[in-house]
């Protein structure tokens, strides 16, 4: 079985500061990892994914994520936060093959001016 944990319900950061949204996963095979963002009253939007290759993955809007196999983590990062980054962020994992995406419970990111 596959699972995803996002240990923080909310992350607060000041504009201009770096941000990290944490995600850990559990799979039986190779993990395929994703980050999605949900703005208020909108559907989820794809940010980035890790399938194989470089552990640091770059995505939309200046976000990046680092895959760490030993720690089974895939934390989302951005060097300098913007107020417009405030949204709900979901980590998701797929265990390969035809398995479905399993989403974490989401982390609300609030960036203050």
Partner 1 sequence: DTAVSQTPKYLVTQMGNDKSIKCEQNLGHDTMYWYKQDSKKFLKIMFSYNNKELIINETVPNRFSPKSPDKAHLNLHINSLELGDSAVYFCASSQDRGLINEKLFFGSGTQLSVL
Where do contacts with partner 1 occur on this chain (CB under 8 A)?
32, 34, 36, 41-46, 49, 51, 88, 90, 94, 96-98, 100-101, 103, 105-106
**Closer residue to partner 1 in complex, CB, 40/113:** 40
Quote the least distance from Cβ 68 to partner 1, whole Å: 19
Between the two ends of the chain, the Cα-to-Cα distance in Å is 41
- The b/e string for 79-94 (b: 16+ C-beta within 10 A; e otherwise) is eebeeebbbbbbbbbb
Quote the least distance from Cβ 78 to partner 1, whole Å: 19
CA 64/CA 90 separation, integer angstroms: 14
Quote the least distance from Cβ 94 to partner 1, whole Å: 6
Residue for token pair 């934390």: 75
**Closer residue to partner 1 in complex, CB, 58/105:** 105
């Amino acid at each position: 079985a596959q699972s995803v944990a996002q240990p923080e319900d909310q992350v607060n950061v000041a504009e201009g500061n770096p941000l990290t949204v944490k995600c850990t996963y559990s799979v039986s095979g190779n993990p395929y990892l994703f980050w999605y963002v949900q703005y208020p009253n909108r559907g989820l939007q794809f940010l980035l994914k890790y399938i194989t290759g470089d552990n640091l993955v770059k995505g939309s809007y200046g976000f990046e994520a680092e895959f760490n196999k030993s720690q089974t983590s895939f934390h989302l990062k951005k060097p300098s936060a913007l107020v417009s980054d405030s949204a709900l962020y979901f980590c998701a994992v797929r265990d390969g093959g035809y398995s479905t995406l399993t989403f974490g419970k989401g982390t609300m990111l609030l960036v203050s001016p």
